[in-house]
């Protein structure tokens, strides 16, 4: 892998002035020393070669056949994803810190290539998945400041506009989002935090305050209806999580349509449609009672929690532990009395 990384560094240094020569460095390494490299290092070089082609394609390099390279990259990513999965299942790659570090480097190269490819071909939800994986294997301080800013911006846009992306906590709780603070895109931090909290009022306030910036983002304006629906659904999901179980079983939450309408800032006669949408997307499980105007929820989608939510959850576990202890004591007393 050391040889592969050296060759990649040489290619990266050469690429800005001579893209063809940069590609030749990696192509020759694969052609002449593939067996010496081994599967993981060869996968690393292949990923870097495909990434280099995508980078040159973005620069409109004359010697890169766009459709052909995109098709090549798609097939390469499919093949390498399968290899990485098999290695993970089989425990290939050795053991110990060095092996784990090498594995992270290989995965990082693969997901960086996949991320850039998905940015080129869409959809945003696919880009989001690859970018999250890339960040999982890549130390943030290993990226130049301009790359951190671009990645934070693109990831936020993908989270907001990606179909089926509802776990905003993955981004909000990651240090990458703070790279936007103090930049012209700092408004995205506010928008993401409001979205992650399911705070409709805050989302509307940020959108109004930064209307010009929002309007300048085609990704947001082009999917404005989807973004609005997503925030509405997240508001209801958070409402369910926050609701105490009171005297009902701890596995159930019952909400009134009128309360939901107030939280999501919509008319009460629209609430039923919102609930049906949440059920169909698998965000919640439960049943509605249209006559009583209530919904009983038995399950809410798993998601990343912030510090306040974790503290609240810890408090609920504490209450549950007390109730269990009280029940145990009561049962013991009854058994003794009998």
pLDDT at 293: 94
Residue 103's pLDDT band (cuts 50, 70, 90):
confident
Identify the residue with better confidence: 315 or 161. Answer: 161
Tally of CB atoms within 10 A around 244:
11
What span, in angstroms and rounded, lies between the C-alpha atoms of 14 and 34? Answer: 22
Q: Whole-angstrom Cα distance, residue 122 to residue 140?
A: 24
pLDDT band at 324 (very low <50, low <70, confident <90, very high): confident
Report the distance separating Cα 312 and Cα 242, nearest Å. Answer: 9
23-70 pLDDT, tens digit per residue, is 999 999 999 988 889 999 999 999 999 999 999 988 876 777 788 999
Residue 274 has pLDDT above 80, yes or no: yes
Q: In this predicted structure, what is the pLDDT of residue 301?
A: 87
Place of tokens 């929690």: 305
pLDDT at res. 91: 55
Tokens of 97: 């810190």
For the full predicted model, state whether its pTM sits above 0.95.
no
CB 87 within 8 A of CB 43: no
Give the least confident one: 63-67, 229-233, 301-305.
301-305
pLDDT in tens, 74-94: 999 999 999 998 877 655 444
Q: Give the relative orientation of helices 124-137 and 96-121 as an angle to the nearest 10 degrees.
A: 160
- Kind of pairing between the strands at 294-300 and 284-289: antiparallel
The 8-class DSSP code of residue 243 comes to: S
Q: How many CA atoms lie within 13 A of 72 on its CB side?
A: 14
């Amino acid at each position: 892998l050391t040889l592969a990384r050296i060759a990649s560094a040489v290619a990266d240094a050469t690429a800005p002035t001579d893209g063809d020569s940069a590609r030749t460095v990696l192509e020759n390494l694969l052609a002449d020393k593939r067996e010496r490299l081994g599967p993981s290092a060869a996968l690393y070089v292949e990923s870097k070669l495909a990434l280099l082609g995508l980078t040159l394609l973005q620069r409109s390099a004359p010697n890169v056949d766009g459709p052909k390279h995109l098709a090549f990259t798609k097939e390469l990513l499919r093949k390498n994803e399968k290899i990485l999965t098999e290695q993970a299942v089989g425990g290939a790659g050795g053991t110990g810190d060095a092996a784990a570090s090498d594995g992270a480097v290989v995965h990082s190269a693969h997901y960086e290539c996949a991320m850039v490819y998905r940015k080129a071909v869409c959809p945003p939800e696919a880009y989001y998945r690859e970018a999250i994986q890339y960040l999982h294997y890549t130390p943030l301080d290993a990226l130049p400041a301009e790359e951190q800013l671009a990645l934070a911006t693109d990831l936020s846009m993908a989270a907001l506009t990606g179909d089926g992306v509802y776990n905003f906590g993955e981004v909000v709780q990651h240090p990458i989002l703070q790279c936007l603070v103090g930049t012209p895109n700092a408004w995205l931090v506010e928008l993401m935090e409001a979205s992650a909290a399911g705070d409709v009022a805050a989302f509307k306030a940020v959108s109004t305050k930064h209307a010009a910036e929002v309007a300048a983002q085609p990704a947001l304006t082009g999917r404005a209806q989807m973004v609005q629906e997503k925030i509405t659904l997240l508001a209801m999901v958070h409402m369910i999580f926050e609701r105490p179980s009171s005297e009902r079983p701890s596995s159930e939450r019952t909400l009134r349509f009128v309360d939901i309408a107030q939280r999501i800032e919509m008319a009460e006669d629209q609430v039923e449609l919102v609930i049906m949408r949440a059920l169909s997307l698998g965000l919640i499980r439960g049943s509605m009672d249209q006559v009583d105007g209530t919904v009983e929820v038995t399950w809410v989608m798993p998601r990343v929690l912030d510090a306040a939510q974790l503290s609240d959850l810890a408090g609920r576990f504490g209450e549950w532990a007390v109730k269990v202890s009280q029940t145990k004591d009561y049962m013991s007393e009854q058994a003794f009395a009998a």
